[in-house]
Amino acid sequence: MSRKYDVVVIGAGPAGYIAAIRAAQHGLQVACIDEWQNRDGKHAFGGTCLNAGCIPSKALLESSELYHRATHEFKKHGITTGDVGIDIAAMQKRRAGIVRQLTGGIAGLFKANKVDGLVGHGKLLADRRVEFTPIEGAVEIVDADHVILASGSTPIELPVAPFDGEKIVDSWDALEFEQVPERLGVVGAGVIGLELGSVWARLGATVTVIEALKDFLSMADRDVAAIAAKDFKKQGLDIRLAATLTSAAPTANGVSVHYEDETGPQTIEVDKLIVAVGRRPFTRELFADDAGIQLDDRGFIVVDDECRTRVKQVFAVGDCVRGPMLAHKGSEEGVMVADLIAGTTSEVNYDVIPSVIYTAPEIAWAGQTEEQVRASGREYKTGTFPFAASGRAKAMEQTSGIVKVISASDDDEILGVHIIGPMAGELIAEAVLAMEFSASTEDLQRTIHAHPSLAEALHEAALAVDKRALNYVNR
């Protein structure tokens, strides 16, 4: 006799494991199938985010930032130290420990919520039957009332620079370098390129980033991108724009990288090359031909606004469907789908999903950029406040950056908030909450913010929208 569940989730990344837990909290019988294998051959729940993405990258960003501050900022505070060194093995051990704790935590959460975590491969067959191939043991057919596909994504590999896992690497390998490469090349000045480029630059690598587009950080507001470009240059990141990779090949000493920019063909030699040109949905062996699942021309599973596929009672969430490839976007889709399955109303507000780039300074935004608002034709006003005028930022010695608020001229709606500066990834939460609750700019202006705090910069930027900033000369 085959097992039967109310809900079977395939994939235990932040989209899938959250969907499983939420469904179980509704009292449903839930199984979550996951096949992730770490480099040591061991399985761990958590998918890309916990094992090879969000969490390990933030662990290394923190370590490298502390090292950078110790070597560059301590003196200003009057702190003297002996020689400051960095032990890469210890840094990596800490990173691995954090990952182990958090992925183990998911196994604990499954147990506490009575989710059956099944380790192995899941494949959707016709009629919501799922073929489960355990890592060890016999293949089993599991019947499900509802199926949630949450299979995630994988790095895009360029045919002109195939990964060899040694010298030409993806982001996962780049998180596990055992020593600092002297010369590091990065293809793609996107989120991964900038975060991982920053990690290794802070630890001493000479970093060259090759970016195909002419505009730096094209998805961000132009004012923010301009500040970021200046700051990253100061930090030693050599970002070459309008530069398209033509080939890269390992040599005896490293990698020979060829690209073309506006002046013609160029070559650089590096020790390691990270290729970070985006990710693509991962759906290999995820469903049988007759399961009824449709992919779009970019390989994403086709779903509607409620993450329903074309097959009744089969949903898909996270990186394998349209929308930004962000952990929190996938998790919220997981929550929505579990709620819908349980018969309650639920939705995801795709207009207010925060984006954060964890560089120094951090970059974060929610809503539309000024360029998008202008293109929409809506009348708007903007207010900007620099961290250089923030007492807290000064005390922290982190004064680079701004908060920019974009508001509608007619009804004062907050259309976009863009932050580059200290703790931008935390500060954006207030803007997200305000936008989620349809607060007006005046509501932000009339909200009391603690002094001195970084959050005051958002308060002042909101005031600046109406030329009422109190701690900065309005323009």
Q: Which residue numbers are catalytic?
A: 451
326 binds ligand FAD (CB under 6 A): yes
Output the CA torsion 191→197→202→204 (10° steps).
180
Neighbour tally for 406: CB within 10 Å: 27
Among ligand NAI, ligand FAD, none, what binds residue 277 when CB lies within 5 to 8 Å by partner kind? ligand NAI
Residue type, 296: D
151 binds ligand FAD (CB under 6 A): yes
Among ligand NAI, ligand FAD, none, what binds residue 383 when CB lies within 5 to 8 Å by partner kind? none
Q: Pick from 370, 371, 333, 365: which is nearest to 349 by CA?
A: 333
**Residue 99 belongs to what H/E stretch?**
helix 88-112
CB of 69 to ligand FAD, least distance (A): 21
330 binds ligand FAD (CB under 6 A): yes
Token pair for 354: 């925060």
Angle at 183 between CA 60 and CA 76, to 5 degrees: 55
Among ligand NAI, ligand FAD, none, what binds residue 152 when CB lies within 5 to 8 Å by partner kind? ligand FAD
Residue nearest to ligand NAI (CB): 190
User: Do residues 117 and 11 touch, judged by C-beta distance below 8 A?
Assistant: no
Helices (H), 153-190: 171-174
CB of 102 to ligand FAD, least distance (A): 13
Query: What percent of the residues of the chain are helix, what percent strand, and what percent coil, each to the nearest 5?
Result: 35, 25, 40
188 binds ligand NAI (CB under 6 A): yes
Specify the stretch interacting with ligand FAD by CB under 6 A; choose among 221-229, 234-242, 282-290, 364-372.
282-290
- Strand 129-134 to 183-187 pairing: unpaired
5 binds ligand FAD (CB under 6 A): no
117 binds ligand FAD (CB under 6 A): no
- Report the distance separating Cα 274 and Cα 254, nearest Å: 12
Site residues (CB under 6 A) for ligand NAI, limited to 346-375: 356-358
CB of 20 to ligand FAD, least distance (A): 11
Specify the stretch interacting with ligand NAI by CB under 6 A; choose among 23-31, 207-215, 223-231, 394-402.
207-215
245 binds ligand NAI (CB under 6 A): yes
Instruction: Report how far Cα 19 is from the mean position of its chain's Cα atoms.
Output: 19
CB of 466 to ligand FAD, least distance (A): 33
- Strand 314-316 to 355-357 pairing: unpaired
Among ligand NAI, ligand FAD, none, what binds residue 244 when CB lies within 5 to 8 Å by partner kind? ligand NAI
- Report the distance separating Cα 258 and Cα 238, nearest Å: 16
- Report the distance separating Cα 457 and Cα 156, nearest Å: 38
Site residues (CB under 6 A) for ligand FAD, limited to 168-227: 171, 192
CB of 451 to ligand NAI, least distance (A): 30
- Report the distance separating Cα 134 and Cα 142, nearest Å: 12
Specify the stretch interacting with ligand FAD by CB under 6 A; choose among 10-18, 139-147, 372-380, 460-468.
10-18
Site residues (CB under 6 A) for ligand NAI, limited to 246-305: 276-279
User: Between residues 176 and 260, which has the closer beta carbon with respect to ligand FAD?
Assistant: 176
Token pair for 27: 């009292």
Residues counted in the chain: 475
Which chain residues interact with ligand FAD by CB under 6 A?
Answer: 10-16, 33-36, 47-49, 53-54, 57, 121-122, 150-153, 171, 192, 282, 285-286, 318-319, 325-328, 330
